[in-house]
A and B are shown apart, each in its own frame.
Chain A
């Protein structure tokens, strides 16, 4: 004899639940910009996720095709706007590769130093925003902001602008560093290390933070590679792959640094890889300061108007979020024929659905945060 009468069992049909569709974004505090995802939730569990991008699409590639090589610099700054100098670096490298331009050694060192400062800047932004996503009421945000402001102040002193410095030029740099740069940068490094310790103390050891992040949305290396994921997220899966070591560009082959890797590719590993990368970046900057040669910062043979005949290249750099690639093609004239940005955020974001489905709604927000997307880069 059944415990439940027949009619009790059949009426369970009337308790069927209906999935709910929630629209997250484009105006939402956790989407880090104008990103929108439509989540279908069953109670608190996400069963489907459909990302929509393009709210910040500015036609970067079309614009680049219609401006000459130096005019486009400003546009490329605005792709990964948290680390504009990394984008400038990749763009300039593509143009230099096509034109066969040499960059003076001092300019290379300054570039590496500035790109690493940008990377620190971007990673600090991640740490702050991620802490806010997890729910620490902006404390991590403000801690991170302190260091970011100081780095921005230095950028302003160097180039005249904080967020979009437009400091690099094909063939070198806009100007040399200010005279007191070395003491400024050393002071900055001390401050960065202090901020790193603060954030490490605030988040890494926190029981609730670890409980939220550990083991959440793990990812295998092979799957990540197949999805085209690069950067800290790929390194968090345990693959020590960094373009600064795998295909050294600029003067990265003269720098000594380690590649932090994770184990399971879960959210905590992604967080900790980025935290550790800041420390490695400070080591690179120190080496730059020690090895900095004297000399010019702009190639003296640079023509007034840069014209490039038939050339084609695909430049890959280690952006802050992953492989920042520039496919460039020139067919004569002062403008590029085609420039395509392979942005890391774009490719990482494509894997969002796979990571989010099956997790809690609150975790979906954290997973999105852990991807560290920059919408300027995703939407181009």
Chain B
């Protein structure tokens, strides 16, 4: 779990200082994990920030390494993006937290080709919706299996009927 940074003055650990300097308009708060600086962004600001990360010469985050969807509990989902720059050999993590009721996240496929399958996987595993994804089909599960196994509410062992069940609220019973 991320550790909250001190409130004032805003401190930018590691790479986030550089990001703040080159993208002063981007709205994010910074936490840090054991390995990376973790930028917390609202879903609406994500695309703009990532565009900046990708395009600015001094940042040049040219690789999207990983997308992780997490069920954070309390009806919240988080999406973690891990970026890496081959040019400068630095990395950063971006987190978007969305409520279950409005679980829409902009798709990054327009910027990173790598986002395609990662987003499809996160979408089917956690029920996230990636707006603007060109091919939002199921990837690992069957197409007509409407379950999201990585939600914490999904039962571990008692799944019996899988096919043809309509998508419901988290915590649906089988």
Contacts and interface: CB of A to CB of B under 8 A. Distances in A.
A327 B68 contact: yes
Which secondary structure dominates chain B's binding surface? loop
Interface of B: 1-3, 33-36, 38, 62-66, 68, 70-71, 80, 82, 86, 89, 91, 93, 112-114, 116-118, 125, 138-142, 149-150, 154, 156
A246 B117 CA distance: 26
Select the residue from B93, B118, B140 with max chain A CB neighbours within 10 A. B140
Interface of A: 53-54, 57, 59, 61-62, 65-66, 97-98, 222-223, 225-228, 239, 241, 246-247, 309-316, 323, 325, 327, 329-331, 337-338, 340, 342, 346-347, 349-351, 379-380
A327 B150 contact: no
A327 B71 CA distance: 14
Contact of A351 (B63, B82, B113, B125): B113
In this complex, the member of A66, A227, A312, A331 whose beta carbon has the largest number of chain B beta carbons within 10 angstroms is: A312
B130 to A, nearest CB: 15
B35 A313 contact: yes
By Cβ-Cβ distance, the 10 closest A-B pairs, closest first, are A228-B114, A310-B1, A54-B140, A313-B34, A342-B66, A312-B33, A340-B68, A350-B117, A227-B113, A313-B35
A66 B93 contact: no
Contacts of A380: 140
B117 A314 contact: no
28 contacts: A54-B138, A59-B149, A61-B125, A65-B150, A97-B35, A223-B113, A225-B63, A228-B63, A228-B64, A228-B112, A228-B113, A247-B89, A310-B2, A311-B34, A312-B1, A314-B33, A314-B66, A314-B93, A315-B35, A325-B66, A337-B70, A340-B68, A342-B66, A342-B82, A347-B114, A347-B117, A351-B113, A379-B140
A342 B65 contact: yes
Contacts of A61: 125, 150
Contacts of B65: 228, 314, 316, 323, 325, 342
B66 A330 contact: no
A307 B101 CA distance: 33
A379 B89 CA distance: 29
Contacts of B66: 314, 325, 327, 340, 342
**What is the interface of chain A mostly: helix, strand, loop, or mixed?**
mixed
B62 A226 contact: yes
B76 to A, nearest CB: 13
Contacts of A331: 1
A232 to B, nearest CB: 16
A320 to B, nearest CB: 17
B157 to A, nearest CB: 9
Nearest to B87: A225
Contacts of A311: 1, 33-34
A365 B65 CA distance: 27
